[in-house]
Amino acid sequence: MGAKYLLRACALASLGAIALSKPVAPVRSAAFLEAQKLADPSYGPVPGQDPIFNTYWGKAPTPHPAYQEGPPGVDDQVWQNLLAAEWIIFEFYQQAVEMFNESSFIAAGMPNTTYERVKEIRNNEAGHLRIFQNQISETSVKPGACKYQFPYKDPQSFLALGTVLEISSMAFLTGLVQQVKLNTAKGAMLAIAETETRHEVWALMDIWKVNPLGGPSDTVFPYANEVLGSTGSLVVPGSCPKENPEYPSPNQHLPNLGASKNTKSLAPGSTIDLAFGDPTNQPKFAKGKQYYAVFFHGVANISVPIETCDWPQKNITVTIPPQFEEKGVIAAVVADTPGAPTKETVIAGPGIILEQPEPLGVKLL
């Protein structure tokens, strides 16, 4: 099967309903004292100083701390959300390291360095865990790992989903950096975003053999928690430490936003039918009120009026703005106000449309 087919299959398979679990917050156990030690920046390997976060080649998880409690800080809630999300990304790569080997990727037609790169990215993500834990104050809970389930069974579907995750995380981080108040926190998040971009550039060039340049600006999507909310289906219900905060916090529990299963193209200018996934969590449209599909690309957004009076008997149809170039990523929401100027104006979404390596599908996961 060709790379294009596999990418499309992976993305379109992710358009369905996503039941959002509510991870709840780290059990005090015998491991707590060890976690306290590991969360101390002077204990054990330090990201940026110890090569283990780049050059560890074992299959067992890269050494990293789990969690600990600490004092409330001005940006603690943002870092808690980011740490909880990072556990998902770390486990995404860790499970692949355990499931596959060098021969797995070579047999799938990938470069012979692919498994090594996957482990190196896994190591980077372990370093991110440590960095995020150290950013959380001593009296705030440091979310611990849950159990996770990922919809990949082979190297191709793993790398396709990884492409979706990495490119989407770049749009997510542009929103998250707007939530923090300390300049040091903004700088740290920018540094992490740059690392995630390198991961994505590697995949686009080495794996998919496409142009990695995404235009003059990556996409700015202002509501990071809305992106995080769409990852809840990856968390095994009931598997999180009992003291973990709700993920994300606050959580709007928005309906999912995707495209109908018969969608043929998601390139700019394409007309699509919107789908909202989970039948138990559908948007509510007030009669006589105008709603909009708002598409974010680069540093701008374009609002397209939609007709909702006959929904759900009739699909909601919208044309993706043809003004956008086929580069990078487009984030879409349904809103009750042009431009979706506040998170409260968002009715459903976000959906993520990848334009590279080809239009994959709407929805992060």
pLDDT band at 231 (very low <50, low <70, confident <90, very high): confident
pLDDT of residue 186: 94
Cα–Cα distance, 273 to 289 (Å, whole number): 20
Residue 167's alpha-carbon distances to 40, 148, 218, in angstroms, are 31, 20, 9
Residue 57 pLDDT > 80:
no
For residue 166, pLDDT over 80 is answered with yes
Residue 276: per-residue pLDDT: 94
Q: Any bridge partners for residue 242, and if so which?
A: none
Domains, the chain, with CATH or none: 3-234 (no CATH), 258-354 (2.60.40)
Angle between helices 76-99 and 114-135 (to 10 degrees): 160
Element of type H or E holding 293: strand 291-297
Instruction: Say if CB 207 and CB 159 are below 8 A apart.
Output: yes
Confidence class for position 4, pLDDT limits 50, 70, 90 = very low
Q: Are 223 and 175 in contact (CB under 8 A)?
A: yes
Q: Binning pLDDT at 50, 70 and 90, where does residue 170 land? A: confident
- Average pLDDT rounded to a whole number, residues 54-74: 58
Q: What is the mean pLDDT of residues 32-50?
A: 50
How much is the mean pLDDT over the chain? Answer: 82
User: Which residue stretches of the chain are H helix?
Assistant: 3-13, 31-39, 52-55, 76-99, 102-107, 114-135, 155-176, 183-202, 224-229
Q: What is the pLDDT of residues 180-201, one digit of tens each?
A: 999 999 999 999 999 999 999 9
> pLDDT band for position 51 (50/70/90)?
low
Provide mean pLDDT across the span 143-156.
Answer: 92
354: nearest Cα among 212, 232, 236 = 212
Residues 240, 234: contact at Cβ < 8 Å? no
pLDDT score for 337? 98
Section 20-24 average pLDDT = 32
Tell me, what's the pLDDT at 50? Answer: 61
Whether residue 66 has pLDDT greater than 70? no
Q: Over range 19-23, report the average pLDDT.
A: 32
Among the residue ranges 26-35, 38-47, 261-270, the one predicted with the least confidence is 26-35
Q: Which pTM value belongs to this model? A: 0.79
- Judged by phi (left if over 0) then psi (alpha if -120 to 50, else beta), residue 157 lies in alpha
Cβ atoms of 145 and 132 within 8 Å: the answer is: no
Predicted local confidence at residue 263, as pLDDT: 87
The DSSP annotation for 255-272 comes to PP-EE-TT----STT-EE
pLDDT score of 15: 31
Q: Are 341 and 354 in contact (CB under 8 A)?
A: no
Question: How does pLDDT run across 314-363, given as a tens digit for each residue?
Answer: 999 999 999 999 888 899 999 999 999 999 999 999 998 888 776 444 33
Pairing of strands 300-306, 317-319: unpaired
Most confident of 11-20, 25-34, 50-59, 296-305: 296-305
Q: Rounded CA gap, 290 and 308, in Å?
A: 8
Interior/surface letters 284-315, b for 16+ CB within 10 angstroms, e for the rest = ebeeeeebbbbbbbbeebbbeebebeebeeee
Using CA atoms, how far residue 175 sits from 190, 221, 233, 315, in Å, is 11, 5, 21, 30
pLDDT, greater one: 33 or 286? 286
- pLDDT value at residue 348: 97
**Pairwise pLDDT comparison (308 vs 356), residue with the higher score:** 308
Higher local confidence (pLDDT), 199 or 30: 199
pLDDT digits over 77-117, tens only? Answer: 999 999 999 999 999 999 999 999 999 999 999 999 999 99
Q: How confident is the model at residue 269, as a pLDDT?
A: 96
Residue 17: pLDDT band with limits 50, 70, 90: very low
Question: Among 179, 195, 6, 165, which Cα is nearest to 92's?
Answer: 165
